[in-house]
Structure 1
Amino acid sequence: MAAGIPGPVENGDAKGGLRASLGGLTTRGRSFLAAGVAAAVCAYALGQGDLLRVGLLLAVLPLICVTVLHRTRYQVSGSRWLSPSRVPVGSEARVHLRMDNVSRLPTDLLMLQDSVPYVLGPRPRFVLDRVEAGGVREVSYRVRSDLRGRYPLGPLQLRLSDPFGMCELTRSFSAYDTLVVIPRTVPLPPLRLTGEASGYGDGRQRSLALAGEDDIIPRGYRHGDDLRRVHWRSTARYGELMVRREEQPQRARCTVLLDTRRIAYQDAGPDSAFEWAVSGAASALVHMLERGFAVRLLTDEGNAVPDGSAEGFAGPTQESADSAGLMMDTLAVVDHSDGGGLSRAHDVLRGTNEGLLVAFFGDLDEEQAAVAARMRQRSRGAVAFVLDSDGWAHGRPPVPHASDSGRLRLLREAGWTVVPVPPGAEIARLWQQAGRERSDAHPAAAGPAAGFQGGRS
């Protein structure tokens, strides 16, 4: 944020600006003005000339202060930056403010106040001493939130006061900044969920293009490319310099599905089942991106993030940090959906040949359990973390019911690795449990691996 404030007043017209300045009279200034008017009226009624002079002095003094403060023409510019601008839930960020006096005159006493949402804490206020011409003052404050979201910071307000305390004027900068509070993520252990052979490195695989000029996939020339790789036939066809892409990188795919249905969660708040599911999805996304997977976030409404590449995956050419930031920004503001089913997510999954599917479900009735079971058909491996919202809402371990066992059994029979999530469970421990259950079902999957193994893109 950077802005300048001339005077530091920006008035549309002189009369309107002066009228607004009169509205800045403090209690002391209004008292002086009222006492002066009262003394002048009494002096006129009683014929007392000395009292009239005292009344005029009391009434004129605050008006003089308003006029002088209104006509002050020094300039101040302000800037704000966040460190960092994206923080997990419960972590602190520091907001730095800088004030520059860009005029040739020193300022009087300045009072700064930044506008912050109440969930980040009280409004910070600072008093700056006289700032010399060309001088700089820097202050900072900390903000912290236990609730994820996007929070605007600003505008920065500057308050001016005269030496007698008769008038205070408040002027605001026009720029805002945004603090993004993302879900808390937990480091997850590297495990393998399928019996397929491990891929190249952290789940990445590479394949050479078939030999022959007709099978070479060209791309646009980039600075630093070897000129011996220029593909002249494609260059003539497209009218721009093209080079051979002899090696096509491929990555294992992973879809993280987050169930946001309102009817699937009973409680609310920082320690609710829904917040646990959001945090679990964030941890899984970061873990799979760090292992080199092409990852996407999918909700029950069928919304996929990122959506810049085909089928909504973060493509191999995208930086993992950018992809993670985009998905974390989405999870920072994700809320309950009013939909009652998972059919839209199933339609998205049905149209692609998936790799690994990691899902975080709320309560599932028989119909939605059947829809979730069908999602497994297009995936090489599938893991479901199923939360019992009733147990989370009442803070007690989930009580097994025959119907619940039937729904979980339906998922297992469809090929899902199902992990029930009790209240307050640690995602890292459940992640390991999912790996053990999959290893028991597929002994060939046992052994160290870089991450949950899935299909290739």
Structure 2
Amino acid sequence: MSAGAPSGAGGAGRGGTGLRASLSGLTTRGRSFLAAGIAAAACAYVLGQGELLRVGLLLALLPLICVVALHRTRHRVSGSRRLTPGRVPAGGEARVQLRMDNTSRMPTGLLMLQDRVPYVLGPRPRFVLDRVEPGGRREVSYRVRSDLRGRYPLGPLQLRLTDPFGMVELTRSFSTYDTLTVIPRTEALPAVRLTGEANGHGDGSRRSLALAGDDDVIPREYRRGDDLRRVHWRSTARYGELMVRREEQPQRIKATVLLDTRADAYQGAGPDSAFEWAVSGAASTLVHLLEQGFSVRLLTDNGTSVPGDAAGGFSSGGHDPAEAAGLMLDTLAVIGHSDESGLSKAHDALRGGGAGGGFGGAGSDGLLIAFLGDLDDVQTEMASRMRQRSGGAVAFVLDSAAWAGGPSRVETRLGRLRDAGWTTLAAPPGVAFGDLWRQAGNAPLGTATSGGWG
């Protein structure tokens, strides 16, 4: 499914097949006509009344003819669904447009459309369509909204068909459905200088030179407007098409956003829980860093890295920033609690021994931004050692006890992380992430702040 494109097209073919199933769709009016016709025919036979027999046959045949006619038109009513957009933030609305086309040569009777949607998106939409002429089209729409992130199926579409006389009523289902992705809320962040770099591109001393020599050249296809002086003739002869040298490109500084998803690190659930705040903060950070030109990856406590490509898990020049952001936001849309008991796998991934790969030689250029839940002494020490592999490190620490209404117990952990070189900020309930982000940019290296607790 692509947002804004029609989908779910097809004939209403499910929901019972054969004339026997169609006969079961006789309405009260149809059954009454059939019973009256049979009774009239029986009386006509007993009384010897030919006129009454013709009336009885007419009454009995009319609902049967409607059954056959409606049965033959079940594949001649097509429908489609258009979902715009296919990805919305939590609390946002998406519009679903349904279209019904009568492709048969006879008009339809009364139609009732019903689309299946999960209860979290709202009530099940139902629409009644009047007679649709041959070749006619009807369009209806409804809106869906969810405060909970996730992936939600829309459909299949159900169609209730009736004949013009109201004798038969059949329910058919389309076979296709669409998926609405509800991503975490993101907040526009101010451009601040963190403990790494002010933006995602290094200076001239860290540029990767593509023209180091003929043997090191990485050519690409010629594009209209390219300078002909950059044509690489050896590659042109090899590939049989015009090839040019790539321009010098600045090296993109790497940034890792670490999200702690351990189940025992958070308390509570729902849109206002500490875990959802951490997920939303991670999403805002990823989008902001990609906009600033960083090469970014999302890392979780189980060592999983997104995008997870060959470049150590980081988004690279092969990823469009919007595409990379969409991939990471889609991952965060369905992310849940892990069964991990600690942060060891994330630590190994940062060192280069895990699935996510390390900084790939980035050294002090690497920026690490972590969203951490409750930490015991062992996990606090593990998080402290993560700082050794990054050029700058910022930790947003959530205290589940405070989010549950109890006293804060985060100060000791902030101090230990600060001693290891982290810039640490406590995230109390209800704090705006943009305010904490601004504080992180103003805080000196290796400092701690209460984030509003005082």
Report the TM-score range of the alignment, normalised by the length of the smaller protein: 0.7 to 0.9
What does residue 399 of structure 1 align with? 407
Deviation at 1:211, TM superposition (A): 6.3
What does residue 219 of structure 2 align with? 219
What does residue 171 of structure 1 align with? 172
**Are 1:99 and 1:138, in contact at CA under 8 Å, matched by a contact in 2?**
yes
RMSD of aligned C-alpha atoms? 3.2
Amino acid at match of 2:324: S
Query: CA–CA distance in 1 between the matches of 2:153 and 2:210?
Result: 52
Q: Does 1:376 align with 2:387?
A: yes
Q: Does 1:435 align with 2:444?
A: no
Q: Does 1:20 align with 2:21?
A: yes
Deviations 1:19-66 (CA, angstroms, capped at 9, x unpaired) = 2212323455557667888x69x989xx8899x979988776644442
Cα distance change on mapping 1:183 and 1:74 into 2, 3 Å: closer
For residue 186 of structure 2, give the secondary structure of its aligned residue in structure 1: coil
**Are 2:220 and 2:246, in contact at CA under 8 Å, matched by a contact in 1?**
no
Query: CA–CA distance in 2 between the matches of 1:59 and 1:105?
Result: 22
Query: CA–CA distance in 2 between the matches of 1:368 and 1:406?
Result: 13
**Are 1:342 and 1:372, in contact at CA under 8 Å, matched by a contact in 2?**
yes
Query: CA–CA distance in 1 between the matches of 2:164 and 2:446?
Result: 79
What does residue 451 of structure 1 align with? none
Deviation at 1:175, TM superposition (A): 1.9
Deviations 1:218-259 (CA, angstroms, capped at 9, x unpaired) = 233243343432323445667775432240331122111111
Q: Equivalent of 2:432, from 426, 429, 440?
A: 426
Deviations 1:290-319 (CA, angstroms, capped at 9, x unpaired) = 111111111111111112241011102421
**Are 1:209 and 1:216, in contact at CA under 8 Å, matched by a contact in 2?**
no
What does residue 449 of structure 1 align with? none
**Are 1:217 and 1:246, in contact at CA under 8 Å, matched by a contact in 2?**
no
Q: TM-score, normalised on structure 1?
A: 0.83
Amino acid at match of 1:410: R
Q: TM-score, normalised on structure 2?
A: 0.83
Query: CA–CA distance in 1 between the matches of 2:74 and 2:194?
Result: 69
**Are 1:154 and 1:175, in contact at CA under 8 Å, matched by a contact in 2?**
yes
Deviations 1:282-341 (CA, angstroms, capped at 9, x unpaired) = 111111111111111111111111122410111024211111111111111101111111
What does residue 355 of structure 2 align with? none
Query: CA–CA distance in 1 between the matches of 2:159 and 2:202?
Result: 54
What does residue 151 of structure 2 align with? 150
Amino acid at match of 1:313: F
What does residue 98 of structure 2 align with? 97
| Number of corresponding residues | 425
**Are 1:153 and 1:179, in contact at CA under 8 Å, matched by a contact in 2?**
yes
Amino acid at match of 2:218: P
Query: CA–CA distance in 1 between the matches of 2:274 and 2:376?
Result: 17
Higher relative contact order (CA 8 A, sep 6+): 1
What does residue 293 of structure 1 align with? 294
Q: Does 1:357 align with 2:368?
A: yes
Deviation at 1:265, TM superposition (A): 1.2
Q: Equivalent of 2:396, from 361, 382, 385?
A: 385
Query: CA–CA distance in 1 between the matches of 2:333 and 2:35?
Result: 53
Stretches of structure 2 that go unaligned for 5 or more consecutive residues are: 1-6, 353-357, 449-454
Q: Does 1:279 align with 2:280?
A: yes
Map residues 297-308 of structure 1 onto 2, 5 A cutoff.
297-308=298-309
Q: Percent identity between the aligned chains?
A: 66
Stretches of structure 1 that go unaligned for 5 or more consecutive residues are: 443-457
**Are 1:158 and 1:171, in contact at CA under 8 Å, matched by a contact in 2?**
yes
Cα distance change on mapping 1:406 and 1:243 into 2, 3 Å: same
